[in-house]
Structure 1
Amino acid sequence: MAASPRRCALSASSLKACRTMPEARLAASGSVRIIGRMSGWIIVSAVLVGLAAALFLLNLSRQVPPAGWPVLLAGAGDLRAIMARDGLAPRFCAGLLGGGALGLASVVLQQVLRNPLAEPGTLGIFAGAKCAIAASIIWAPGLLALGWDLPALAGGIGVAAIVLLLSARSDFAPTTVTLIGLIASLAFGALGTMLVLTHFDALSDLYIWEAGSLIQNGWGTVLALALKLGLVSLAILLLMRPLSAMQIEGAEQLGVRTSLVRGATILAAVGLSALVASTVGLISFLGLASAAIARGAGARRLPARLVAAPLIAAGLLALTDQALLALAGGIEIPAGITVMLLSVPLLLWMLQRAPAGTSALAMAAEPMRLQLGTASAFIGLGAALVVSFALAATFGPGPDGWQFAQGVLFAELSIWRLPRITAACCAGAMLAMAGSLLQRLTRNEMASPELLGISSGTALMLLVATLFLPGLDRYGTAALSCLACLAILACVLWLGRRSAFAPDHLLLIGAGLGALLASLLSILLVIGDPRILRVIGWLSGSTYSVDAAEARAIALATASALLLPLPLLRWIGLMQLGEPVGRSLGVPIAGARLAVVLVVAVLTGVATLFVGPLSFVGLMAPHLARLLGIRTALAEIYGSALVGAVLMILADWAGRTIAFPWQIPAGLIATGLGGAYFIVASWKR
């Protein structure tokens, strides 16, 4: 029986539908995925901003009931209404503006540098802004007539230029840029701390500002900030098209002037960061967190990230600030500190996911050596140690000017000078030995106890002992500090296992842990706990409180520490050949590494207990020893100890004399010199 025309038509239409059904399903699933990616960051942004707005309304209702809100708009009311209108409301807007600007700056920096770890805090922009503002307050207050914007911008641009100049030779490799930026932050942060210690009365307001406070006393500052940020953001939006084109190979052949676009974009991003820093203070890692959340929520393309990251950052900062207002019970905790506490773990997580590349720093070539020979180098170092010790003990400024102390005057001064000189000498020797052991263990000439976060463990343990174990003596604290060093280093190695313990990743993880410690200390400083004053002085690398008994103790500890590397020399030498070769020659790799780590933890814990964590002696001393031609493991370890002792003695002497009668902690002097040395070494490579 022949099929009817209607049935044939239905069959044809059904066949066509069946053929097109997979394509339709594919298109539908693709549309769902696109909508999901688009709506993911929109939902996250809306939730964060919505929660921040809800908390703002809650805090507002606590001060002024909703029935009285029309009075706020009318410009009248009692004291609580004035505080709500001119304090709480502009504070909420400042959080939105500041967070949005930092999120936008981070996206732009990550795009132009092709670096997922780039943000104002990791590039040293905030540290430069702090130093410039402090210097302007002290020596050029006239520059602040129109606000802190100009010096903050100049300082941020200056440090960012240094970081990018040193990173250019590695083609702006992500870990290289971030590592140099973090070291620049430490060096310029030490310089800023020196200025604060020597001009405390003039710079006391910088503590609150440095913590990132959103406190406002009216709408003038917020409106001015909104206008400035709007102009800079408009310039960035005009550069969006060439920024997107820069990611294409051969962009210059298409007419894109990449160098000009890169320079203009970085300048705009630094401008955004400096404007926020000058208004609400230093808020590090917020931009990094917002950009990472935006990418994770589906904002893959540049236009989407330029919208998503600022919204997420604005919501995070405003939400954190309003939550602190609601929960702190009247205690003012700056939001910038809390944001850093939440953001640094994200940095550590990103480092575990980032590919382990070979940075220019990790595989830097050996520097030129003076080739003095081992014997000549040790003779020269021994003479330098004697001369520096004698200089520090006898020569210095006094009421009658610079003079050499002799006779009765020397006897009177030696009671104060000799213990701290001995402590500086011994601590420098132990830190240098620890640095040499770490550099040989990791086969990375940029490794040091400070950069691996070991000193941060000592600082944290001292803080815990000061607050919760007030009856613990210094020797008990030293034992706990050694355990803390070991725990921190184990944490660093555990976090770095995903990258096969890549040296650059380990250094960045250690720097991130140091930033966490700084956040905890800043919270206690802002709260005003009087017990923290002792910790703050110690963290600056001070030898002020060392007495004769403690000097004898650290001298005895150093004499014992000189014997610790001897049983490890064979293992250290064989591990330099690589793990397979060392294992084939009978070296227990795991046990050998653990033994070296234990020695490093003990050396660093005891030394840091006396001079604080702010010292780059562990980085510089092995370099200088190799510069003198000392090459073998045993000679380098003890040569580094001599170099470290001389450096710390000179740093302590300089801290006592260059700003007499005020004193600058030796750790700050060593940190400034270490940062400068790191920059010079990076430039030579």
Structure 2
Amino acid sequence: MNRHCAGLTLLLFAMALMLCLEQLAHQLSWCAIWQALRGTAMPSLQQQMFTLMWLPRQGMALLCGLALGFTGVVMQQALRNPLAEPMTLGIASGATLALSLATLIGPTWLLASREWIALSGAITAFAVVFLLSLRQGFTPLALTLAGMLVNLYCGAVNLLLSILYDRSLSAVFIWGGGALTQENSHALWWLLPRLVMAALPVLFILRPLRLLALDERVTRSVGLPAGWVRAISLLSALAISSLVISVVGVIGFIGLAAPHLAALSGAKNFYQKLIWSPLLAAGLLWLTDQGVSRLNGINGLLLPTGMMTALAGGPLLLWFLPRLRHIFQPDVNEPSSAPFPTHQIAMLPVIMMFLLMLAIALDFARGLHGWHWNSLAEMHQMLPFRVPRLLAALASGVLLAAAGVILQRVSRNPMASPELLGIGAGASLGITAQLLLWPLAGMAVMIASSALGALFTLGLTLWQARRYALNPQRMLLSGLAITALFQSVAAIVISNNGIAAAMLRQLMTGSTYYVSTPIATLAFVLALLLLALTPLLRRALLLLPLHNISPSLGLNVAHARLLLMLLAAAMTGVATLIVGPLSFIGLLAPQLARQLGARKPMAQLLLAVLIAAIVIMLADWAGNNLLFPRQIPAGLMATLIGGPWLALLLWRPLNSANA
């Protein structure tokens, strides 16, 4: 009921207000505050800080929270996807990449026009998303895939630049964490009217936007131009998000969590969510910023507000998630035709590419004397170094591809990729704890700590979904909240611990540099065993996407979901323990296989595994050789290499099955 929304909103605002009053009581007397508000002729330094910095910061927290909560509701409604948020369509990574490039090319530009550089990067990123989905009528599937592609691609380029120029880009990394600190009120008054103007288009199309929650066939039958309504609403939402990012940096998770917190608190329809989600987001961001302002500076600690939002909102979402009665299913209608008639036509060239890439990875390399094919004697010397890395990369790539196929089919969500289960984030948290507590430990301790973190995350995710027959949407939301929570911890460590930062960046971006022969062999054997188990569940993979039809066909839905989720989690866990969370492979390979004509579960799985093997071998080989003797992590190279493939297939005009 709405009174629960009001109660939670009042609780967040009351807690934030109490912290504000407590902070002011230690700085100024009430008389001095009143004089500062009235504008005395000779204000003290504390009064100037109150009017020029403290008050604008509180206003910025409330304004940005309202804006992000509003855009989260609009995007989830327009895309019909509960995992959509303002950062989904690549604007945050686009803005961060633009600032990184400006820092390296012309640092003086940042002094005069940082906001405009960030805004131009965000707009450029969404323009690419817009163009990729234009020929497909702005369908939710096309927009979602294009947004995830641009987001991951820009993020990979930015991570690569941060590895190559880590000292030069440290300020950009801090800005990317989101900071509400204000020097005066100019930014607040600059942002306010622009946000209002950007929100007006949505207010004029509220009724058509509400109808987008219906099936695509229903909206067409009533004459609703769904594509244009979706495009207008997304343009408005992303303009708001771009403006916020350009001023305060990247503040993630708020746009995702606020609509679900509103629904969990009793908001039943779109209009109610549109009212309560911005208010909940504002209260949550304000409360988080109050906590951050007290912790910053203690022993040199640096805590950007954007990184801390997940620490505040993640546990809150996890606490309320079991009480959510309904999560609508995303719109993921399959295309009626693919660029190729059947997957058999694409299979032969894919196999040939696999064999060619295998030969290149083993025999062709760059050394001290340039590029060359190795002789038999050189091959004999180099194979002990190349084979372990190749086996580990292959094992991890194919496991993440198979896990991606399972998750996308079970959840019917094109954004479902292995890291959404939280396994990779849990493993990263385990490694983070080990680096802080025992930084000089060996690889065995690192693998053990990573495994403990992954198992803890899996147990928490399964426990959250136990009451609802392991509903995949609930598991993905739970995993996403856990991922955001754990990643924020890792980001804080990276910001404040230079020794751990270098190791974490390598592990979190998919480096095979630390893999030994026994670990690579074990990973490859486990990959073969887990892949061999998948055909035993092919009937469940075929029937589960049918939702209400599958129980009538004799399928135990809860049992099938549990087995498939455990299998996907095991695949993700093994891959993450070896080379880190190569998440893009789990998203890219299943989509490429589907676009190439593979529709049945085993056909899609086989084609996705082959594609992942090609991409990861090419990525590992290129990462070893392109900037020799420097190393580029395989995860980043996989994103840089595989992204254009998916972009090319997205650009091809596909007609929806229900058109």
Structure 2-normalised TM-score? 0.76
- The Cα offsets for residues 391-432 of structure 1, whole Å up to 9 and x where unpaired, read as 2xxx2265x654556699989977866654453344335445
Deviation at 1:667, TM superposition (A): 0.7
User: 2:537 matched to which residue of 1?
Assistant: 572
Ranges in structure 2 where 5+ consecutive residues have no aligned partner: 213-217
Structure-1 separation of matches of 2:294 and 2:316:
25
SS in 2 for 1:201: coil
1:359 to 331, 339, 347: 331
Q: Which amino acid aligns with 1:359?
A: D
Higher alpha-carbon deviation: 181-190 or 628-637: 628-637
Residues 657 and 595 of structure 1, relative CA distance in 2, 3 Å threshold = same
User: 1:385 matched to which residue of 2?
Assistant: 358
Structure-1 separation of matches of 2:273 and 2:571:
46
SS in 1 for 2:311: helix
Structure-2 separation of matches of 1:293 and 1:441:
25
2:154 to 188, 207, 210: 188
Q: For 1:302-451, list aligned pairs within 5 A.
A: 309-326=277-294, 330=298, 331-344=301-314, 353-357=325-329, 359-360=331-332, 368-369=341-342, 371=344, 381-391=354-364, 395-396=365-366, 398=368, 402-403=371-372, 419-432=388-401, 448-451=417-420
* Partners of 2:430 and 2:450 within 8 A in 1: yes
Higher alpha-carbon deviation: 599-608 or 92-101: 599-608
Deviation at 1:539, TM superposition (A): 0.4
Structure-2 separation of matches of 1:110 and 1:590:
26
Higher alpha-carbon deviation: 55-64 or 78-87: 78-87
Deviation at 1:538, TM superposition (A): 0.8
- The Cα offsets for residues 296-315 of structure 1, whole Å up to 9 and x where unpaired, read as 77878988876655444333
User: 2:494 matched to which residue of 1?
Assistant: 525
Structure-1 separation of matches of 2:142 and 2:153:
16
Q: Which amino acid aligns with 2:177?
A: A
* Partners of 1:102 and 1:287 within 8 A in 2: yes
Q: Number of paired residues?
A: 638
* Partners of 1:447 and 1:507 within 8 A in 2: yes
- The Cα offsets for residues 626-650 of structure 1, whole Å up to 9 and x where unpaired, read as 8999999999877766654442221
Structure-1 separation of matches of 2:342 and 2:224:
44
Identity %: 35
Deviation at 1:360, TM superposition (A): 1.9
SS in 2 for 1:396: strand
The answer on 1:60 being equivalent to 2:19 is: no
Structure-2 separation of matches of 1:600 and 1:138:
40
SS in 2 for 1:649: helix
Structure-1 separation of matches of 2:569 and 2:59:
47
* Partners of 2:65 and 2:282 within 8 A in 1: yes
Structure-2 separation of matches of 1:574 and 1:560:
23
Q: For 1:478-627, list aligned pairs within 5 A.
A: 478=447, 481-482=450-451, 484-485=453-454, 488-489=457-458, 491-492=460-461, 510-528=479-497, 530-546=499-515, 550-559=516-525, 561-563=527-529, 565-566=531-532, 568=533, 571-575=536-540, 578=543, 600-621=568-589
Residues 369 and 500 of structure 1, relative CA distance in 2, 3 Å threshold = farther
* Partners of 1:461 and 1:484 within 8 A in 2: yes
- The Cα offsets for residues 576-635 of structure 1, whole Å up to 9 and x where unpaired, read as 564899999999998887676666555443332232103433455567778999999999
2:246 to 278, 288, 300: 278
User: 2:116 matched to which residue of 1?
Assistant: 150
Q: Which amino acid aligns with 2:511?
A: S
Deviation at 1:226, TM superposition (A): 1.8
Residues 619 and 353 of structure 1, relative CA distance in 2, 3 Å threshold = same
Q: Which amino acid aligns with 2:188?
A: L
Deviation at 1:545, TM superposition (A): 3.0
The answer on 1:137 being equivalent to 2:103 is: yes
Structure-1 separation of matches of 2:397 and 2:130:
31
* Partners of 1:198 and 1:663 within 8 A in 2: no
Higher alpha-carbon deviation: 261-270 or 301-310: 301-310
Residues 223 and 116 of structure 1, relative CA distance in 2, 3 Å threshold = farther
Residues 174 and 48 of structure 1, relative CA distance in 2, 3 Å threshold = farther
Q: Which amino acid aligns with 1:535?
A: L
Residues 350 and 273 of structure 1, relative CA distance in 2, 3 Å threshold = farther
SS in 2 for 1:147: helix
- The Cα offsets for residues 480-539 of structure 1, whole Å up to 9 and x where unpaired, read as 645654554565556567776666665565444433332221222233373343223210
SS in 1 for 2:499: coil
The answer on 1:228 being equivalent to 2:191 is: yes
* Partners of 2:616 and 2:638 within 8 A in 1: yes
Structure-2 separation of matches of 1:306 and 1:592:
36
Higher alpha-carbon deviation: 166-175 or 195-204: 166-175
User: 1:97 matched to which residue of 2?
Assistant: 63
* Partners of 1:431 and 1:603 within 8 A in 2: yes
Higher alpha-carbon deviation: 665-674 or 431-440: 431-440
* Partners of 2:178 and 2:250 within 8 A in 1: yes
* Partners of 2:495 and 2:501 within 8 A in 1: no
